[in-house]
Chain A
Amino acid sequence: MKLNKIFVLLTFLAVLGTILGNLMYSWVLFTLTISSLALFVISSRVMPSRSVLLSISRGSEERKKEIYVNDELEITIFLKNEERRPVLIEVHDLLPSMVEVIEGSNRKVIKLEGNERKEMSYKISCPITGKIDIGPIKVRYRDPLDFFSKEVDFGEEMILRVLPQTQEMQSVDIHPSYTKHWLGDIKSKNIGIGSEFFSLREYHIGDEIRNINWKATAKHFEPFTNEYEGEKSGDVILVVDGYKKGMVGTERYNSLRVSIDAAASLASSILSARNRLGLIVSGEYMNWVYPGTGKNHYHKVMANLTQFEKGGSWDLEGVRMLLEDFFPRKSLIIFISPLTIMEFTETIIDLARKEYDVMVISPNPLKIEEELLGDYDKIAESFVRTERKNIIDRLWSTGTTVVDWNPNEPLEPALKEVLRYKEKM
């Protein structure tokens, strides 16, 4: 419980009355002391009790929730006055600054009659990805004379994971050049397990009955079996550049945010093509996920994409070491970087020279600046543009596929165009 300023001031008046009354032998000044004391006694009647007089809980019992960027989430809080007398309370559900309240309010003043139950709800949305803590619910009670105020934290914190918005990328076929033995969607040009018809051959003992071509068997009076084009899959590793010093844009819209969105879209597309997907996010810490498949793996990748912190404590040598020592060789490595840090570009070139199949998706930082600022220095722009063009040309010369992506537009067309160009080469 907190004593407010008015209580201190009234105490001062009471003490002053006593001192002056003693000095001047005046009954008038003593009434000041008596009156102040009378007010203290009366106000103690309405003082908040020591025990909690309210019961406050969240509408949902789930402590962890997942939403996508810009999705709406309704938060409900139930309040009940356990006492007989009415109370006026301020309720404030603490929200981080990046969360937007789109309907209602997370801060309200509510009057509760004795044993009354009320509900408070509001809707939020979050424009950026990440892990968000909602709560605790802060409740403040004041007595009518404002002598005392009591602040209590209610309800457990709710953890909200805001996942990046994924784009549809069905028409883009991203596949590694080197395939592995396990089943996938990549046509291997060899006979194997698949769905596309390849040729006919004579029946051998052990062939599956369902693969027998009955039409050919009837024609030649001996059993024939269908052969199919093998469909395989490979390993794809996404490397997201989370270095703070190379980040371009504001807190809400920057190269890192668009990189994460692109990584999420690519992860969904790669995994749906039955490839194994690995992830490395280099920021304040190095987050990495060993290649795997399936729905659980997708959630693991998403969790790592949303939880990491931008920074730059880790050396780029760490990324290279991780790729060379822990991740499978002959994988397709997709770097998502604005290419603003020279060391990152050098690492990509170095890996491309080895036996890795490397692709770079680079959100154009100039387009981000253009979107945010509208107008900027043309000379500086031409310098940066030339520098960026040189880096991209250098990467192409080492056999790296580079997608120069305008983040204000969808990724799919840009990626499709580059892949088509690469096929023609």
Chain B
Amino acid sequence: MHFFYWFFPLIFSIIPTVGFLRKKSSVIDYGMIITIVSYFLINEGLPLTVLNIIVIVGFLFLLVGIWFFARYLLLLDRIEDNSRKGSQDEDIISFTRSARMFAVRGIFTNTLLGAFLAIIASLMGSYSSLGRITPGRIEIFLMILFTFFLFLVIYKMISLMVSEEE
């Protein structure tokens, strides 16, 4: 039965593909979220090893990279359509070339750095406390710490946005 669950990410990945072909960014977003969540749920019972962490995080960032790239292509397409009004063809070609190169490089660097940071953080988290060494109370404490850190980052982003408007 568990073998059957492995097909879930593959089946759900059809949704973002259709979204990309139909140029609907919201379909891509929701399709990718379902695919990522289903991918994590099928891996739920895996034992905690370094290799498993690397594979899971690596594959997640592959999905995230594809997601960002697909969104960026749609965004560029939209900007290109707007710029086309009254513009020369040469402008569009040069813009598309430079924008795509810029975007691909940016996405690649950021997702790669993100994956690296996520692997380090996961390894540190798991080997210092989670499951293997000290189960129970420390595990709960780390969960609270992670949650707190997450909300702190969100709060910082929102406060930055508010101060910008002022």
| Residues of chain A at the chain B interface (Cβ within 8 Å) | 1-3, 5-7, 9, 11-18, 20-22, 24-44, 46-47, 50, 86, 88, 90, 101, 104-111, 122, 142-146, 150
Contacts and interface: CB of A to CB of B under 8 A. Distances in A.
A111 B154 contact: no
B103 interface: yes
B64 interface: yes
Contact of A6 (B71, B113, B115, B139): B71
Given A1-B160, A34-B57, 13 more contacts: A5-B26, A13-B37, A26-B45, A31-B122, A36-B150, A42-B113, A46-B106, A106-B86, A107-B82, A107-B83, A109-B80, A122-B86, A144-B107
A111 B143 contact: no
B157 A105 contact: no
Contacts of B118: 31, 34-35, 37-39
B87 A2 contact: no
Contacts of A146: 68, 71-72, 75
16 contacts: A3-B158, A18-B146, A27-B48, A27-B126, A31-B56, A34-B118, A34-B122, A35-B114, A35-B115, A38-B121, A40-B153, A43-B110, A108-B87, A144-B106, A145-B68, A150-B164
Contacts of A35: 57, 60-61, 64, 114-115, 118
Given A34-B122, A144-B107, A3 B157 contact: yes
A18 B83 contact: no
Contacts of A5: 25-26, 29
Contacts of A107: 82-83, 85, 87
Nearest to A36: B150
A41 B125 CA distance: 17
A105 B80 CA distance: 12
Interface string B42-54: 0111101000010
Contacts of A150: 164
A12 B29 CA distance: 12
Contacts of B33: 9, 12-13
Contacts of B103: 88, 144
Nearest to A32: B40
Contacts of B111: 39
Contact of B157 (A15, A21, A40, A143): A40
B138 to A, nearest CB: 13
A105 B95 contact: no
B10 interface: no
Contacts of A26: 44-45
